[in-house]
Amino acid sequence: MLAKPRGYCAGVDRAVETVEKALDLYGAPVYVRKQIVHNKYVVHALEARGAIFVDETQEVPEGSTVVFSAHGVSPLVHQEAASRNLKTIDATCPLVTKVHGEARRFAEEDYQIIFIGHEGHEEVEGTMGEAPGNMILVDGPDHVKDVVIDTDRPIAWLSQTTLSVDETLETVAKLRERFPQLIDPPSDDICYATQNRQQAVKEIAEQCEVMLVVGSANSSNTVRLVDVALEAGSQAAYRVDWAGELDEEWVAGVTTVGLTSGASVPEILVNEVIEWLNARGFNDLEEVTSAEEHLLFALPPELRRDMKAAEEKAKS
């Protein structure tokens, strides 16, 4: 049973295309701060074309071109890039940018902002960097009891876009028990693609003895899909980067396998898993569609501007 939707979301598609177009336009090397998206295959493919991935802006030679990843960066990173005279292309997912804006607006009104997310994740670091003096990180429902705030000031919550929907709602419910005055964000922070992929897994998990999830270990939304599958009734669930990591023991004696992939996973990796399953007798493939996705995001404006200038120069 093949879950749909799966794989690339609009934000990932935009981010990967941003690096590809930058390489075409400016030539190699193009530097990328952090992994453009959390997927080993994608990163290695872009490295082969001339992208150089770095952990920090200081590693980029002065005057070079650097792309900021889909997960977003803090204002401090933009300042660091400007001080090094770097040409920046911001491939932050627009849905993450929306949360950054919500953080700034709440901070301007002196709200204490409880941010639900995973400590150390790049998206969390970038968003919390928008209002570091106002934000308190809560890493799931078990950490709600540790929150210390000033109850005389207003309180709001925001969340990382790639979390488990159910766990986030549980965290918010526990927060509201402690802080009844808690204000909701103006719109849902968890992205449409994360919700859709989790819902697709929920619809097939109970019918599957084993759920296979394709995606990298540092991809938050991928890891959540494994949890969602188990919670929704799958007897077992495994995450793999690619078909070569599959174990025949996982499907021994199994009649029904579920298959999905995280939002940063190209379809070629899913197809390789399908071929692996076909070779082991799983030839009856049923694709189960729980939602249709048609959203597209335009490339970053600074890149579109340079592409247009290059086109006009070529015509003249």
Q: Which residues are catalytic?
A: 123
The beta strand positions in 229-286, using DSSP E, are 236-240, 257-261
d(CA 181, CA 162): 25
Q: The dihedral of CA 55, 193, 305, 23: what is its sign? A: positive
How far, in Å, CA of 191 to CA of 99, rounded?
Answer: 10
**Angstrom distance (rounded) from CA 76 to CA 73:** 8
d(CA 176, CA 156): 10
Buried b (16+ CB within 10 A) or exposed e, 129-142: bbbeebbebbbbbe
